[in-house]
C-alpha cells in the first residue's frame, strides 16, 4: 500500500480513523522557512469535526504536535514529523458492522485487495485520514506564500441542486468562512444549510461541488506529457475521500464549444504576456500560463446513511442494516480544507521542480532569511 505522495516535496501519511492517532512526515521542505505550529493548527481547525450542526458530532480537538524538522520557528531541511491523536473514537459503534459490506464504502474492495481490514470507521479509507494531508498542506501553503506570495482558496459552489454564483476573482477567505457551509454566496448558503439539515433528519446525505482557485502563479509550472500540473493535481484531488471528478477551467463544458469559442486570446498586460479570458483554467499543455489556476472537484453524497439498506456479509449472506454513529450528512464543508491542502501540496512540489536554477535561488533566499531574521 502506497502512503506517500509527491516528488521534491513529498509527504507520507499514517494512522487510522479509530487508531491511536494520525500524522504525516514531510520530506523535501527547504531549510529556513518561517513556520509556527499555529499556522498548522489554523488549517486543522478548519476541518476538525464537531464544529457545526451540519457536520459530524464527533468531537476531536485535532491538536497537532510537531515532532521534528522545525527549530526556533524555522524549518531545518530535515524530515518534518507531525502527529494528531484521536480523542473521541467510539469504535463500539462499528462492532455489528465488522462482517457487513456497507454500500458506498470501501469495506468490500479493501477485503478483496488485502484480505483483512480495520472495520472501525473505515480505517485508512476514512475521511479522517485527510488530517495528515491538511497538516502537510499547511506547510506547503507557508512555502508558497513565502516564495511566490500565493496559495489555494477553495469554497463550496454547489450542494445537491443548489448552485452558487460568484465572481471567483473577488472571493475572499472571509467570505468563505462567513457561514457553516463555506459558500461565499449569501443568497444560497442558507438554502444549502437547510438542504443538508433536511437530508440529515431523513437519515440521508447530499453531495456537490467545490471550486478552487490560485491567483498569482508564475508561468511555466508543470511539464508536458506525464508530469502535467493538471495530471498531478487530478491525482492528488481524486485521492481525497469521496471525490468523484476533477475538472480545470470550463472542464467538460469545453466539449460543447467550438475552438474559436474556447481559445483564450493572448494580450499584453502591463508589459507581460497574459490572456483576455481564462477558459483554460490557467493551464496550457500541462503548464501554468500566468493566469489564475482554477477548477472544480465533485464529491459524492456521504456513504453512511441512517436508513435501511440492502447488503451482504463477508459470509455471502444477504441482509439489511441501518447505520448508527456520528457522520457528516454532507462532506463538502469539511472537504474545503482538504482541497486547499492537496492543491498547495502539488504546487509546492512543482515549484521545487521548476528548474535547478530556480530551486537553488529559492532555497538560497530562504537560507539568507534564516541567517538575517
pLDDT band at 122 (very low <50, low <70, confident <90, very high): confident
Please give the pLDDT value at position 371: 57
pLDDT band at 125 (very low <50, low <70, confident <90, very high): confident
At 121, list the grid cell: 470507521
pLDDT band at 290 (very low <50, low <70, confident <90, very high): very high
Mean pLDDT value of segment 179-205: 97
Answer yes or no: are the C-beta atoms of 119 and 326 closer than 8 Å: no
Nearest Cα to Cα of residue 326 among 52, 49, 56: 56
Between 344 and 98, residue with greater pLDDT: 344
pLDDT band at 350 (very low <50, low <70, confident <90, very high): very high
Please give the pLDDT value at position 48: 86
SS3 128: helix
Please give the pLDDT value at position 372: 55
Please give the pLDDT value at position 189: 98
For the cut 80, the answer to whether the pLDDT of residue 166 exceeds it is yes
Would you state the CATH architecture of domain 4-371? 4-Layer Sandwich (3.60)
For the cut 80, the answer to whether the pLDDT of residue 119 exceeds it is no
pTM, two decimals, is 0.93
Answer yes or no: are the C-beta atoms of 348 and 140 closer than 8 Å: yes
Answer yes or no: are the C-beta atoms of 18 and 58 closer than 8 Å: no
Total residues belonging to the chain: 373
Please give the pLDDT value at position 17: 82
pLDDT band at 126 (very low <50, low <70, confident <90, very high): confident
Mean pLDDT value of segment 120-149: 90
**pLDDT, mean over the chain:** 91
Amino acid at each position: 500500500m502506497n502512503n506517500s505522495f509527491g516528488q521534491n516535496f513529498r509527504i507520507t501519511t499514517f494512522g487510522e480513523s479509530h487508531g491511536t492517532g494520525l500524522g504525516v512526515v514531510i520530506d523535501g521542505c527547504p531549510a529556513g522557512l518561517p513556520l509556527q505550529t499555529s499556522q498548522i493548527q489554523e488549517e486543522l481547525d478548519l476541518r476538525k469535526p464537531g464544529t457545526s450542526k451540519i457536520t459530524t458530532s464527533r468531537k476531536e480537538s485535532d491538536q497537532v504536535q510537531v515532532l521534528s524538522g522545525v527549530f526556533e520557528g524555522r524549518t531545518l531541511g530535515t524530515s518534518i514529523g507531525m502527529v494528531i491523536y484521536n480523542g473521541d473514537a467510539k469504535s463500539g459503534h462499528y462492532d455489528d458492522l465488522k462482517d457487513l459490506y456497507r454500500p458506498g464504502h470501501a469495506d468490500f474492495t479493501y477485503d478483496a485487495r488485502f484480505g483483512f481490514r480495520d472495520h472501525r470507521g473505515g480505517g485508512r479509507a476514512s475521511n479522517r485520514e485527510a488530517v495528515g494531508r491538511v497538516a502537510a498542506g499547511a506547510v506547503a501553503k507557508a512555502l508558497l506564500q513565502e516564495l511566490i506570495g500565493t496559495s489555494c482558496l477553495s469554497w463550496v459552489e454547489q450542494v445537491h441542486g443548489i448552485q452558487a454564483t460568484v465572481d471567483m476573482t473577488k472571493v475572499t477567505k472571509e467570505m468563505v468562512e462567513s457561514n457553516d457551509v463555506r459558500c461565499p454566496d449569501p443568497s444560497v448558503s442558507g438554502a444549502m444549510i437547510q438542504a443538508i439539515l433536511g437530508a440529515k433528519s431523513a437519515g440521508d446525505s447530499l453531495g456537490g461541488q467545490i471550486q478552487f482557485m490560485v491567483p498569482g502563479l508564475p508561468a511555466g509550472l508543470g511539464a508536458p506529457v506525464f508530469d502535467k500540473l493538471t495530471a498531478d493535481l487530478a491525482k492528488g484531488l481524486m485521492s481525497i475521500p469521496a471525490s468523484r471528478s476533477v475538472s480545470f477551467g470550463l472542464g467538460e463544458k469545453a466539449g460543447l464549444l467550438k475552438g474559436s469559442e474556447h481559445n483564450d486570446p493572448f494580450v499584453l498586460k502591463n508589459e507581460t504576456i497574459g490572456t483576455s479570458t481564462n477558459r483554460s483554467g490557467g493551464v496550457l499543455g500541462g503548464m501554468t500560463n500566468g493566469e489564475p489556476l482554477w477548477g472544480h472537484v465533485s464529491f459524492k453524497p456521504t456513504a453512511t446513511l441512517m436508513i435501511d439498506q440492502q447488503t451482504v456479509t463477508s459470509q455471502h449472506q444477504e441482509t439489511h442494516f441501518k447505520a448508527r454513529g456520528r457522520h457528516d450528512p454532507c462532506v463538502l464543508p469539511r472537504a474545503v480544507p482538504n482541497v486547499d491542502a492537496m492543491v498547495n501540496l502539488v504546487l509546492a512540489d512543482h515549484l521545487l521542480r521548476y528548474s535547478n536554477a530556480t530551486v537553488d535561488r529559492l532555497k538560497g533566499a530562504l537560507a539568507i532569511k534564516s541567517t538575517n531574521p
